[in-house]
Amino acid sequence: MRIATSMRRRLALAMRQLGCQTLSQLQDRVLHDAEVLTRLLQYLTVPVTDMFRDPLYFRALRESVVPVLRTYPSLRIWIAGCSSGEEVYSFAILLREAQLLARTMIYATDINAQALRQAAAGVFALTRLRGFTENHRRARGRTPPWEPRPGGWRSRNAAKRRSPGGAMPRRPRAPPRASATEDA
């Protein structure tokens, strides 16, 4: 029930901001104007994330999954719905601490282009550092891997260099559409 209420509230706000009186009008604008879809996604996606957001999950990964991952010559990890990147960087930090990052390719995608830009920058507000550090400690992390940056702080890992094309977060691509000749 709470999710439905939240979605209705976000849709109502988007409709007001985009100048639509009805859902049908919003639908028409989305179907005929790609920029409207991009703006609508800003209202509908909710980037709720933290570094090591669920410390027990990352602790279990560290203790139970990482030993198995060590047996593989290379690793590929995909974080779908990466939001502003905190989970991606958490994985990169965990893998670096386990000495697995050098042989890991991390793929991260999200439908929210603004969140992807923030994830690619990898800079997070100083006010969040204390919570991130506590989560990292509870996940049995080693020395906090943060360094100061103008306007905030950044993870010290090399996650961006471990992804295709040097840009870790990516917007998912739509599947190719069938052409008229393929449908026949």
Q: Is 0.85 topped by the overall pTM?
A: no
Partnered with residue 147 across adjacent β-strands are 154
Q: Which tokens in the block code for residue 68?
A: 């198995």
Residues 62 and 37 in one domain: no
Q: Above 50 in pLDDT, residue 33?
A: yes
Quote the number of domains for the chain: 2
64/139 same-domain check: yes
**Residue 30 included in any domain:** yes
Closest CA to 97 of 129, 137, 141: 141
Range list of β-strands (E), 27-165: 75-80, 104-109, 123-124, 146-149, 152-155
Average pLDDT over residues 124-149: 82
Are residues 158 and 96 both part of a single domain?
Answer: yes
Q: Residues 100, 164: one domain?
A: yes
**79 lies in a domain?**
yes
Type of residue at 130 = R
- Asked, for residue 152, whether it belongs to a domain, the answer is yes
Same domain (yes/no): 31, 68: no
Q: What is the CATH number of the domain that holds 109?
A: 3.40.50.150
Residues 6+ apart with CB under 8 A from 60: none
177 domain-assigned: no
Same domain, 138 and 76: yes
Does residue 180 fall inside a structural domain?
no
Cα 113 to Cα 111: distance, rounded to the nearest angstrom: 6
Query: Does 19 share its domain with 97?
Result: no
96/153 same-domain check: yes
Task: Provide the pLDDT confidence category of residue 166 given band limits of 50, 70 and 90.
Answer: very low
Would 119 be classed as within a structural domain? Answer: yes
Please enumerate in sequence order all residues whose Cβ is within 8 A of that of 121, keeping only pairs 6 or more positions apart, or say none. Answer: none
pLDDT digits 0-9 by tens, 56-101: 999 999 999 999 999 999 999 999 888 889 999 999 999 999 999 9
- Is 136 in contact with 129 (CB distance < 8 Å)? no
Range of the domain at 135: 55-170
Q: Would you say residue 110 lies in a domain?
A: yes
Q: How many whole angstroms separate alpha carbon 162 and alpha carbon 102? A: 7
Question: pLDDT class for 2, splitting at 50, 70, 90?
Answer: low
Q: Do 75 and 106 have their domain in common?
A: yes
Grade residue 126 by pLDDT with cuts at 50, 70 and 90: confident
Q: Are residues 61 and 40 in the same domain?
A: no
Q: Are 99 and 157 in contact (CB under 8 A)?
A: no
